[in-house]
Amino acid sequence: MPQEADTKFRILFAIYPGMTHLDFTGPHQFLSRLPGSDTIVASPAGGNVEADGLTFGNTVRIADVRSCDLICVPGGTNATKVALDPEFMREIRRLAQGAKYVTSVCTGSLILGAAGLLKGRRAACHWAYAELLPIFGAIHDPARVARDGNIITGGGVTAGIDFGLTVLAEIGGETLAQTVQLGLEYAPAPPFDSGRPDLAPPHVRARYETLRQAWLPERRADAERAAALILATAPA
Amino acid sequence: MPQEADTKFRILFAIYPGMTHLDFTGPHQFLSRLPGSDTIVASPAGGNVEADGLTFGNTVRIADVRSCDLICVPGGTNATKVALDPEFMREIRRLAQGAKYVTSVCTGSLILGAAGLLKGRRAACHWAYAELLPIFGAIHDPARVARDGNIITGGGVTAGIDFGLTVLAEIGGETLAQTVQLGLEYAPAPPFDSGRPDLAPPHVRARYETLRQAWLPERRADAERAAALILATAPA
C-alpha cells in the first residue's frame, strides 16, 4: 500500500564510519517510538558502518534515499574529516532542503555547517568542538538542545537523549514524549557531576584540556578546508 | 603477542535479537573507553542481531567466547522469552562463573536470574518488570544502579549510562570515570520529569499502566517457566 507508506513521517539518520555511536543510538531509541513513523539509517556507502568497535549493518546508501521529513546527523571525533566529503555533504544538503526538520547531535552540527545549512543560525555542539561552529557561519548556542526555526541541534553525545525527547514532544506531543520517557526510565542519576567543563573537577578538566589542545589545530584546519569547499560548491 | 592480550580486561556484552538497543549501546559507549580493555559483543547465534530496527553486525557466537572479566546482559521487552533459551542461559552462567563482575541493564537482570545467578541477591530492573525478579529468587533493589557483591545491575534502559559510569569508576577509578563523563558530555537535562512512575504525570502513568497490565501476565508466565528450567538444569 504505497499510499499509506507515503503518509508516514520519515526519520533519517545519516551516519558514517567513525561516528560516536551513542550520538546516534540515543535519539534513535527515542525517535523510533514515534507512532506512524519510519526510521531509515543511511550512510555514505551503505552496508556496514563501523563505530567505536560496533558494526551497524544493513544501512542504506544515502544517495538512494529519496526524501525524509527529519534528518539527524550524529557527531564523531572525525566529524571535521567527514565534512570534507563533498558527495556526502551534497546528499545531506539535498535531503535537508526537503525536510521539515534539520537536526544533529554533538559534532553533527559541524557536518550540517559543512553542508551549508547553518549560515547565521544558532546551533548546539559538543563543548570541546563548539568553537569551530563559526567557521561555518553558525552561532554556537550553549544550550543542551538548541532550536532555531526548523533546525534542532543537541550538545555532546548524551545530549542526544534530551534532544530525542524534545523532538518527540515537538512532533508527537508532550504526553507521547513523557510516556516514552517513562518507558525508557529516563530519570538520570549520574554518580558524578563532571559532564561539563564548568562542573568537572579542575584536575579532570585539565586532563581533558591537555588532550584537546593536542587535537584541536588539525580539526580546525579541516573545518576551514571544509568551509572553503562550501563556498566553492554550495548554491548561492 | 598472546601474552599482552591475556592481560587485557575483557568486557563481554551478551546481546540477543529483540533487545532494547540503548540498554547495550549506552554502557558500551562508556565501558569501551576503559584503557587496557577489550570489548566483545556476543549473541546466541553470532552474526547479525536485530533490535528496534537496527542491525548489529559481526557479533561473536557466545559459545565461542572462552572467558571474560565482566559480563553485561542488556534487557528487552522479550527478556522473559530469551530466559527460556536453556543454551543461552547455560553460556551466560558459564561466563558469569568465571567473571570478576556479573552485570546487567534493565530486564537483563531477569536473564541473569534465569541463568541462576541471582538467588538471594539484590538486583535492579526496569520498574515495569521488577516484580518478576522474585520469581528467580532475587530481591528487587529500586536503586538506579544496585550492587550486591560482584553483581552490579542497572535499572531501565537509560539507567545503563549511570551504570556504565559506576562500573568505569569501580574498575578504572573516579578520575577516569569523570573524564569520560566530560568527554560524553553527560550533564543530563531532561525536558520533562516523567522517567519514573512516582514522577510521571498521572495521565501518563495511567496510559502506561493500561498497556503494562495487558502484557504482564504472559511475561510472568514465561518467567515462571524459565525459573522451573533453572531448577531442572542448574548445578545444586
Residues of A in contact with B191 (CB under 8 A): 145, 162, 165-166, 169, 177
Better-scored residue on pLDDT, A60 or B2 = A60
Q: Check whether A39 has a pLDDT greater than 80.
A: yes
Is any Cβ of chain A less than 8 angstroms from the Cβ of B28?
yes
pLDDT value, residue A162? 98
What is residue A169's three-state secondary structure?
Answer: helix
A150-176 pLDDT, tens digit per residue, is: 999 999 999 999 999 999 999 999 999
Instruction: Enumerate residues 77 to 116 of chain A having a beta carbon within 8 A of any beta carbon in chain B.
Output: 106
Is any Cβ of chain A less than 8 angstroms from the Cβ of B35?
no
Mean pLDDT to the nearest integer, A71-76? 98
Q: Check whether A2 has a pLDDT greater than 50.
A: no
Question: Which residue is closest to A166 within chain B, CA to CA?
Answer: B191
Select from A32, A41, A147, A184 the residue whose CB has the most chain B CBs within 10 Å, as the one to mutate to test that interface. Answer: A184
In the 3-class helix/strand/coil scheme, how is B119-136 assigned residue by residue? CCCEECCCCCCHHHHHHH
Nearest to B189 by CA among A160, A227, A86, A235: A160
Take residue A53 and report the three cell numbers written for it: 568497535
Q: Check whether A4 has a pLDDT greater than 60.
A: no
Q: How near does any CA of chain B get to the CA of A186, in Å? A: 4
pLDDT value, residue B25? 98
Residue B68 and residue B11: Cα distance in Å, rounded? 6
pLDDT value, residue B7? 87
Sequence letter at residue A219: R
* Chain-chain contact of A56 with B54 (C-beta, under 8 angstroms): yes
Residue A49 and residue A69: Cα distance in Å, rounded? 23
pLDDT value, residue A235? 58
Mean pLDDT to the nearest integer, B102-129? 98
Residues of B in contact with A165 (CB under 8 A): 190-192
B129-145 pLDDT, tens digit per residue, is: 999 999 999 999 999 99
Q: Check whether A227 has a pLDDT greater than 80.
A: yes
Is any Cβ of chain A less than 8 angstroms from the Cβ of B10?
no
pTM: 0.95
pLDDT value, residue A7? 87
Please name every residue paired with A9 in a beta bridge, in sequence order, or none if there are none: A37
Confidence class for position B195, pLDDT limits 50, 70, 90: very high
A97-120 pLDDT, tens digit per residue, is: 999 999 999 999 999 999 999 999
Residue B129 and residue B106: Cα distance in Å, rounded? 9
* Chain-chain contact of B187 with A193 (C-beta, under 8 angstroms): yes
Backbone angles phi, psi at B104, to 5 degrees: -155, 165
Residue B187 and residue B192: Cα distance in Å, rounded? 15
* Chain-chain contact of A22 with B21 (C-beta, under 8 angstroms): no
A106 is catalytic: yes
Residue A130 and residue A107: Cα distance in Å, rounded? 8
Across the A:B interface, residue pairs with CB atoms under 8 Å apart total: 221
pLDDT over 90, % of chain A: 94
Q: Check whether B218 has a pLDDT greater than 50.
A: yes
Q: Check whether A230 has a pLDDT greater than 90.
A: no
B161, B174, B194 member nearest A181 (Cβ):
B194
Q: Check whether B119 has a pLDDT greater than 50.
A: yes
pLDDT value, residue B230? 85
Q: Check whether B225 has a pLDDT greater than 60.
A: yes
Mean pLDDT to the nearest integer, B6-18? 94
pLDDT over 70, % of chain B: 96
What is residue B147's three-state secondary structure?
Answer: strand
Q: Check whether B122 has a pLDDT greater than 50.
A: yes
Q: Check whether B125 has a pLDDT greater than 70.
A: yes
